[in-house]
Structure formats: structure tokens, C-alpha cells
Amino acid sequence: MTRLRVGCVGTGFIAGQHLRALAGFDDVEVVAVADTVLERAQQAADRSGGRAYGDGLTLLDSEDLDAVWLCVPPFAHGALETAAIAHGVPFFVEKPLGLDLPAAQELADQVSASGLTTAVGYHWRHLEVVHRAAELLARTPAQLVTGYWLDKTPAVPWWPQRAYSGSQVIEQTTHVFDLARTLAGEVASVAAAERAASDGRGDVPAAASALLRFVSGAVGSISSARVLGWRHRVALHVVAEGLVVELSERGLTDHELRVVTAHGEEVLRSDQDPIRTEDREFLDVLLGRAAQVRVPYHEALRTHALACAADRSARDGRPVGLPDPEGR
Ligand SMILES: NC(=O)c1ccc[n+]([C@@H]2O[C@H](COP(=O)([O-])OP(=O)(O)OC[C@H]3O[C@@H](n4cnc5c(N)ncnc54)[C@H](O)[C@@H]3O)[C@@H](O)[C@H]2O)c1
């Protein structure tokens, strides 16, 4: 059997989820892992196999790979993607694509010129409950969308600093913006506001709220807060003609779809592992067993552009328009 030789750069929380998924596939071999904290890379190599590097660029220069997973924080994007492209290595990259839009746009141009297969970790797209919600809303379009990411401040040191994470909107709530695009279509404009942090733990706002106008004419709002001691609600609620669709996430493998109509209510709980599903899909495309990934780089760029527009509007206090995907 052909075993794909893969590497992973960044060996923190989400890399651990991907490496666990990859360990479950018998057509993949993890040959190298890298982290700027070498001990962390070594621990990951001890669990997953392969050589440990203290630098992802050296890994990409030294190894002959069929694919690489880039699981680094927002501030670390750029050189790794460029190196993967230069070596002709298809890559899976975790969201967000970077701290801001211009650098990600530049990488998107490099990706499309290279023709390489890429995939981005907007994992909700792989959930069967999301596919079910999309079917319902394809028949009965969204009129109103309300989304939430109401949580604690993550414990990783880079997160509370805008210069390292972008912001909560760019780093976390981007999943909810992505789900809004998936279920209600493209957004034409966004007007947002934010409340500054006052806890002395970085400059990522305590809360932010964005008002959206969709190309379809639907309207919506998506709000973020990081001031709780617990994860309270990560969800998107959609109201259509005679239909309410509510999706929520309690953990990576804990999702719920609630559908309400005049005839009653249906609740679907899901323990599907979307990380495994997205990794399998990417590998199947590389092996020629599937035609395309659900979220290639250029598709994720649209969601990143939306989250960055919401963040920019909140900072500047002015509405931000988004380019029409059809060029109208
Ligand atoms: N899809 C999801 O649901 C999901 C969930 C969690 C995190 N993420 C994303 O994954 C990314 C990483 O998050 P995390 O929770 O794993 O963070 P983390 O802090 O746990 O891990 C990041 C690791 O990357 C390493 N690192 C930093 N810069 C590096 C570089 N230049 N080269 C190599 N290693 C480097 C750090 O030392 C750390 O070990 C973030 O962008 C986050 O948004 C996605």
C-alpha cells in the first residue's frame, strides 16, 4: 500500500488532534514534526513517530514530504506556507489564515499560481448536522442570522495579544462567520463595534459585535466575548420563513442541531470527529480518491476576509463593504 509521508509544523493543542487522527489511518506515515519549542516537538515525535525539528522551515528543507499540516498560531503564518509551496508540498493549514487580510491574500495568490492542493481547518463544514442544516436552508432561505462565541480567554500566551492572535473575532469567531457564509451566503457589508479589554490581560477586546448585511438581503449579527470563566455558547441561529435552525458546539466532537417549525422540534446530537473527517478528505484528494476538498485556501480566504472586515469595522467605527464574489 502507498503510505503518504507527512509532516506537522506546530505541535500544540490542535496539532495533537490532527496527529491523533493521522495515527488512525494506515495509509499515512508521520515522518517529521516541528515546533519552535523543541521539547514539544520531541514529545509529539515520541507519540506519533518521525524526526523532531525546532524549526518548520528546516523540516521542509530536509524532508521529502507528500503533505504537511501547518498548525501554528496566527502570527506564525507566511514563511511556512511559502516554503511548502516552493517545495511543491500540498498543505493543510489551521484557521485563521493569518493576522490580517493582505498577507493571506498574497499567500492565496501563491497557492493558486502553484496549483497545489490545500485545505483549511474550518471543521464545521465537515459536520453532517451542518450539511442537514444547509439542505433545509437551501429550500427555505435565511432571513435573520444570530451568532455567538461567548467564552473564557484561552490560556495560551499568544492569544490575548492582537499582534499574535489577530483578535477573538479573527481567531475564534471566524468559525461562526464561516458557518454564516455556509448557511446564508456571502456578506455584502459589516458594521461592528468592540469593547476594549480592561483586565490587564492583553489588548484583544473584551467583547465585539458585528451587524451583517448579506448579498441575499438577509441580515444578521455575530457577537464575541472572552470575559467568562467558562465556554458559555458557540452557536449560530438562523431564522427563515416558518423555520428556525440552531447549531451549537460544546467541544470539537460535541455538536447539536435544533430544527423548529410550526409542527414541532427536532434535536440531533452529533459526536462526529470533524478533524478526522477533514484530514481524511484532504488525504483522499491527494491519493486521487476524492475530487476536491470542501475548504481550499481560496474559499477560506473569503471567511478570513469577512472576519477581518468585522475586526476592522470595530476598530475604525465605520462600515466595511466586501467584494461581490460574482464581481457585480
Ligand atoms: N479548527 C479548530 O477548531 C481549532 C481549534 C484550536 C486551534 N485552532 C487553530 O490552530 C492554531 C494553533 O492553535 P493551538 O490551540 O494548537 O495553539 P497552541 O499554542 O496550543 O500550539 C501552537 C504551537 O505552535 C508552536 N509554534 C509557534 N510558532 C511556530 C513556528 N513558527 N514554527 C513552529 N511552531 C510554532 C508553538 O510553540 C505551539 O507549540 C491557531 O491558529 C488556532 O486558531 C483551530
Walk me through the domains of the chain, giving residue ranges and CATH numbers.
4-123+277-295 (3.40.50.720), 124-272+304-321 (3.30.360.10)
Instruction: Report the alpha-carbon distance of residue 213 to residue 188 in Å, rounded.
Output: 6
pLDDT at 327 over 90: no
Quick one: pLDDT at residue 73?
A: 98
The residue contributing the CA closest to ligand 1 atom 4 is 14
Which run of H or of E encompasses 110? helix 101-114
For residue 296, say if its preceding peptide bond is cis, omega within 30 degrees of 0: no
Partners of residue 53 on adjacent β-strands: 34
Which tens digit of pLDDT belongs to each residue from 105-136?
A: 999 999 999 999 999 999 999 999 999 999 99
Which tens digit of pLDDT belongs to each residue from 38-94?
A: 999 999 999 999 999 999 999 999 999 999 999 999 999 999 999 999 999 999 999
Cβ 11 under 6 angstroms from ligand 1: yes
Q: Residues 117, 282: contact at Cβ < 8 Å?
A: yes
Cβ 85 under 6 angstroms from ligand 1: no
Which SS3 state, helix, strand or coil, does residue 145 take?
A: strand
Cβ 93 under 6 angstroms from ligand 1: no
Which tens digit of pLDDT belongs to each residue from 7-45?
A: 999 999 999 999 999 999 999 999 999 999 999 999 999
Residue 56: Cβ within 10 Å count: 27
Distance 138 CA to ligand 1 centre (A): 34
| Cell digits of residue 137 | 436552508
Q: Which residues of 10-23 are buried (b: 16+ CB within 10 A; e: fewer)?
A: bbbebbbbbbebbe
Instruction: Report the alpha-carbon distance of residue 153 to residue 230 in Å, rounded.
Output: 9
Which tens digit of pLDDT belongs to each residue from 209-261?
A: 999 999 999 999 999 999 999 999 999 999 999 999 999 999 999 999 999 99
In this prediction, residue 2 has a pLDDT band, given cuts at 50, 70 and 90, of: confident
Cβ 56 under 6 angstroms from ligand 1: yes
pLDDT at 328 over 70: no
Q: Residues 111, 118: contact at Cβ < 8 Å?
A: yes
**Residues 223/229/234/240 CA torsion (nearest 10 deg):** -60
Check: pTM over 0.95? Answer yes or no: yes
In this prediction, residue 199 has a pLDDT band, given cuts at 50, 70 and 90, of: confident
Quick one: pLDDT at residue 247?
A: 98
